[in-house]
């Protein structure tokens, strides 16, 4: 089981992705914006973070920068989940430090597959 943090300002996205991940045996945490996401990540130290890029309060870009600067969260893989679909958007996200990139609208099983590829389908939290 992996602990996954979903950071997205869209309630439906958070609910759908969490439902699919929980169905696969993972635990899911949620946050509505980047600021809340950084706080939850610091408190819970999830195995992976799936984060929208365009959110109110604090963007995914800003949140990633903070997460990478905090020693406790710097090694947590962060997947960008975004409607920014141009090839240069993906290149920018990867160069900023995102570990993978998923374009919205994303099929829930696509998100699950990427998460499991990064953390493993049988991750055991230690």
pLDDT digits (tens, 9 = 90+) for 36-73: 999 999 999 999 999 999 999 999 999 999 999 999 99
Highest-confidence range of 27-31, 79-83, 88-92, by mean pLDDT? 27-31
Contact present, 31 and 6 (Cβ < 8 Å):
yes
Query: How many angstroms separate the Cα of 33 from the Cα of each of 23, 39, 51, 54, 124?
Result: 24, 10, 9, 9, 27
Q: Report the CATH fold assignment for 3-86+98-119.
A: Rossmann fold (3.40.50)
Contact present, 4 and 48 (Cβ < 8 Å):
yes
- Give residue 32's pLDDT band: very low, low, confident or very high (50, 70, 90): very high
């Amino acid at each position: 089981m992996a602990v996954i943090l979903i950071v997205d300002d869209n309630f439906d996205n958070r609910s759908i992705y969490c439902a699919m991940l929980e169905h696969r045996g993972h635990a899911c945490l949620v946050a509505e914006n980047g600021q809340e996401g950084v706080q939850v990540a610091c408190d819970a130290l999830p195995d992976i973070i799936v984060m929208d890029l365009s959110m109110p309060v604090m963007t995914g870009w800003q949140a990633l920068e903070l997460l990478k600067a905090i020693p406790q969260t710097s090694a947590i893989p962060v997947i960008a989940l975004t409607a920014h679909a141009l090839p240069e958007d993906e290149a920018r996200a990867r160069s900023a430090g995102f570990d993978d990139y998923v374009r919205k609208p994303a099929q829930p099983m696509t998100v699950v597959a990427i998460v499991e590829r990064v953390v493993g389908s049988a991750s055991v939290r230690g």
